[in-house]
Amino acid sequence: MAKNAHYDFFIPDGVIAPEAQARTSHLAIGAHQDDLEFMAFHGISSCYEQQAHWFSGVTCTDGGGSSRKGKYAKTSDEDMKVIRMNEQRKAAEIGQYSFVAQLGYSSTAVKDPEQRKALVDELEVLLLTTQPEIIYTHNPADRHATHIGVFLAVIEAIRRVPPFSRPKKVYGCEVWRDLDWLCDEDKIALDVSGHPELAKQLNACFDSQIAGGKNYGDAVIGRRKANATFHDSHSADTVDQLWFAMDLTELAENEEVSIKDFVNAKLSRFKESVNKHL
């Protein structure tokens, strides 16, 4: 399979690729550099400084379409791709990832069903070589079209994998639209309160976005704290940071389940929960 020009496979501790893949227990598949750190910190934190569990990440796009101003205002798309690749590598080192694969697709390719087939093929291979217990990816109610493209590719790739090799859990995480609206029975609250200094260090890796006009780091920490405070109105907080996810395991386990039907069922429950109080 031909690799994209900006493809990069990085193993922070230098073991051979088959070992880095085989030891992976938690795998996150995101659209952009920094999506892994924002939406899948639960997996990073769970595996940090552990020997029995390893976090690995896959970033699907090349970063060339990033917003930029300030010191990055005149940075070309090609230079930005290199900058963002190096930022993702730095995060992988700090977070002690087993590996991070940057696949180098354009956002256009990820959003287009025909062009996306190559991404699905590549993800299928990665899933077969890693066979993680848990996968984190984007959720189908996200409002970023590239995130939706990655979500669709991940589900299709998982469904190609033999059932006995599929992950036990698949979480669709919030990023560009929170998941606070989900009814409690549909919402997974991931405890991301551990290793707060690690979270700050990881967020700070992506200077091209922060200095380029988007302080995602502060926004992510703010959302995590707000989620914890507003999650339950009738009890005192037991953790101070939560990240919400949609449980996508049913979609991974059963190819007959329609994605639209799956999402519409959750929307219907939300609508009913609002209407019953009116």
Sequence-distant (≥ 6) Cβ neighbours of residue 191 within 8 angstroms: 42, 239, 241, 242
Work out the widest C-alpha separation in the chain, in whole angstroms. 60
pLDDT of residue 157: 98
Give the pLDDT of the chain (278 residues) as one tens digit per residue.
Answer: 678 888 999 999 999 999 999 999 999 999 999 999 999 999 999 999 999 999 999 999 998 877 777 788 888 989 999 999 999 999 999 999 999 999 999 999 999 999 999 999 999 999 999 999 999 999 999 999 999 999 999 999 999 999 999 999 999 999 999 999 999 999 999 999 999 999 999 999 999 888 767 788 899 999 999 999 998 766 666 789 999 999 999 999 999 999 999 999 999 999 999 999 99
Give the three-class secondary structure for 54. coil
Q: For residue 131, is it left (φ>0), alpha (ψ between -120 and 50) or beta?
A: left
pLDDT of residue 3: 86
pLDDT of residue 209: 85
Q: Which residues pair with 261 in a beta bridge?
A: none
pLDDT of residue 212: 66
Q: Which two tokens stand for residue 97?
A: 């990832």
Q: Is residue 228 part of a domain?
A: yes
pLDDT of residue 232: 77
Q: What is d(CA 86, CA 118) in angstroms, rounded to the nearest whole number?
A: 24
Q: What is d(CA 184, CA 86) in angstroms, rounded to the nearest whole number?
A: 39
Q: Is residue 226 part of a domain?
A: yes
CA 38 to chain centre: 7
pLDDT of residue 48: 98
Give the three-class secondary structure for 249. helix
Amino acid found at 234 = H
Amino acid found at 129 = T
Residue 63 belongs to domain spanning: 8-275
CA 132 → CA 20, 54, 142, 155, 165, distances in Å? 12, 9, 24, 14, 8
Q: Which helix (H) or strand (E) holds 253?
A: helix 249-253
> Which CATH number does the domain housing residue 179 bear?
3.40.50.10320
Q: Which two tokens stand for residue 131?
A: 């066979």
pTM here? 0.95
Q: Is residue 75 part of a domain?
A: yes
Give the three-class secondary structure for 138. strand
Q: Is residue 1 part of a domain?
A: no
Give the three-class secondary structure for 85. helix
Q: Is residue 2 part of a domain?
A: no
Number of domains in the chain: 1
H helices of 55-176, where?
A: 77-94, 107-111, 117-130, 145-160
Q: Is residue 205 part of a domain?
A: yes
